Amino acid sequence: MANWFECKVRYDKTMENGAVKKVNEPYLLDALSFTEAEARMIEEITPFISGDFSISAVKRTKIAEIFWDDSADKWYLVKVAFITIDEKTAAEKKSTSLILVAANDFQGAVDAFTEGMKDTMADYEIASIAETPIMDVYKMKVKED
């Protein structure tokens, strides 16, 4: 199971109008610890940023799963409630999970989530879908010897 960490990278970004602005952009990556998350973030971001940058924050997220789409340019966070029935009391119980979905627009996120959930046997309902500011997501790198 993946441990997803959100890392914020602070650097000076040249905007489309030529102005230089200090930004603090969030990225998501799979790592075993906070230390590894920071080190991997530096490794991943270095080729794309010219000049100085710093990792301003690293925090663990509660994302359970990610539905990938390499052609998408936005990330949407879907809060889904899985519905179960307690056998003793016959009461309906909901447990929530967070799923990150790559899509180009809101409807694409709904469609990608529905497609990703088509083989599940569990009953569920979508509690919310929101676009995130996440710039990119990096999977765990497996080193071969």
pLDDT tens-digit map of 101-129: 999 999 999 999 999 999 998 899 999 99
Which helix (DSSP H) or strand (DSSP E) does residue 11 occupy?
strand 4-14
Q: Per-residue pLDDT for 145 more than 70? A: no
pLDDT at 88: 85
pLDDT at 2: 85
Task: Give residue limits of the domains in the chain.
Answer: 4-61, 64-131
pLDDT higher at 87 or 53: 53
Residue 31: how many other CB atoms lie within 10 Å:
22
How far apart CA 104 and CA 75 sit, in angstroms, is: 8
Region 1-5: mean pLDDT is 89
Mean pLDDT of the chain: 93
Q: Per-residue pLDDT for 144 more than 80? A: no
Please give the model's pTM, rounded to 2 decimal places: 0.89
Contact 93, 85 (CB under 8 A): yes
pLDDT at 5: 97
Distances (CA, A) of 70 to 80, 83, 84, 101, 102: 23, 31, 33, 11, 8
